[in-house]
Structure 1
Amino acid sequence: MSSCQPEQLVLMYFLLPLWIAAGLADALCHRRADIAHTAGPFESLLHLLMLVEVGLPLLAALFLEIDALLIALMLVAFSVHEATALWDVGYASRRRRVSPIEQHVHSFLEMIPLMSIIVVVILRWEQFLAIFGAG
């Protein structure tokens, strides 16, 4: 039997694999839309920027103790990622067709990080409260 809490299991074996699957689905959508020739390299740069925005907090969570500072970093990175995602879709939609399937995939790529942060907050509630001086 696992010593992990149910929230950890949800994070590791549901949310993370679902997030990876959504990322692969998005890559397939981009391949089908031929973004290299329709929206150009700038859209790819925006995707790399978003990868860094979510990748840094993810790597930090994997290798460091999750404390108030890391949770705050996750929240800031999520907000920046959302702003970049809006920039990306605005840029792409003026240069190519963003299909309904791709839009739906994007909803997963936006909400899974938020759901993951919520699970982390549940697991580290005292650290979350410490952000506001209450922990």
Structure 2
Amino acid sequence: MDTSDLLINLLLFLFLPLWGIAGFIDWLCHRATHIEHNSGLFESFLHSVMGIQIAIPIILCLVFRIDQGILLICIAVWLLHEAVAHYDVHYAAPKRHISIWEMHAHSYLATLPLYMLSIIFIINWPVALKLFQFDFTGAFAFERIEQPWGGDSYLPVYLGFMAIVCVIPYCEEILRCLWAKWQGATA
């Protein structure tokens, strides 16, 4: 097994699942602070936006051959995610208690995407060099990869895992916030 394979396995079997677990812990913290009665629907919406933001590069990198266009999308989405994450905490902090557990979850949710992006750059260094040289030859081809990372079953298993630990909990959070708003319990 070469270094590239080790880095890919680190991404697939440690960082990607850990990101989902950190998201689940963050959701538990929101639930414990009764987000629906303080910062409410808007903050919950921001959480969903951030999840979708990171899901985009993950899916792109798992499905398509990584070219300069994909790397550019990954960088842009990561920067946008950082801006929304900053705004999220700025919005929520005066409205509800952010526990030490939630701060730790946020540290993982903020750093893991950067680590994953860094590893993607290392694994695809010749493509990254072309991007740094502003050589966009063949960029944005969205060419499906023949042999997916982790094999054919990885993507469906990972998406199922993320549905259980992130999508369903955050949908529940939005529903709780909508219900509280409907009942007039939050602004």
TM-score range, shorter chain: over 0.9
Residue 74 of structure 1 is matched in structure 2 by: 74
Q: What is the CA distance between 1:20 and its match in structure 2?
A: 1.1
Q: Using the alignment, how far apart are the partners of 1:55 and 1:13 within structure 2?
A: 16
Counterpart in the other structure of 1:14: 14
Q: Which residue of 2 aligns with 1:65?
A: 65
**1:25-36 matches, cutoff 5 A:** 25-36=25-36
* 2: CA distance, partners of 1:120 / 1:112: 12
Whole-angstrom CA distance in 1 between matches of 2:41 and 2:5: 43
RMSD: 1.6
| Residue 53 (structure 2) pairs with residue 53 (structure 1) | yes
Partner of 2:93: 93
Give the equivalent residue in structure 2 for 1:39.
39
Paired with 2:90 and 2:107, the residues of 1 have a C-alpha distance of 15
Report the Cα distance in structure 2 between the residues aligned to 1:17 and 1:117, rounded to whole angstroms.
Answer: 15
Q: How does 1:110-129 map to 2 (within 5 A)?
A: 110-129=110-129
Q: Which consecutive aligned stretches of 4+ in structure 1 deviate over 3 angstroms post-superposition?
A: none
Deviations 1:37-77 (A, max 9, x none): 11110001111111121111111111111111111111111
Structure with the bigger RCO (C-alpha within 8 Å, sep 6+) is 2
| SS of match in other structure, 1:5 | helix
In structure 2, distance between residues paired with 1:60 and 1:134 = 21
Q: 2:24 aligns to what?
A: 24
With over 3 angstroms needed to count, the CA separation of the structure-2 counterparts of 1:87 and 1:134, relative to structure 1, is closer
Task: Please report the TM-score for the alignment, with normalisation by the length of structure 1.
Answer: 0.93
TM-score by length of 2: 0.68
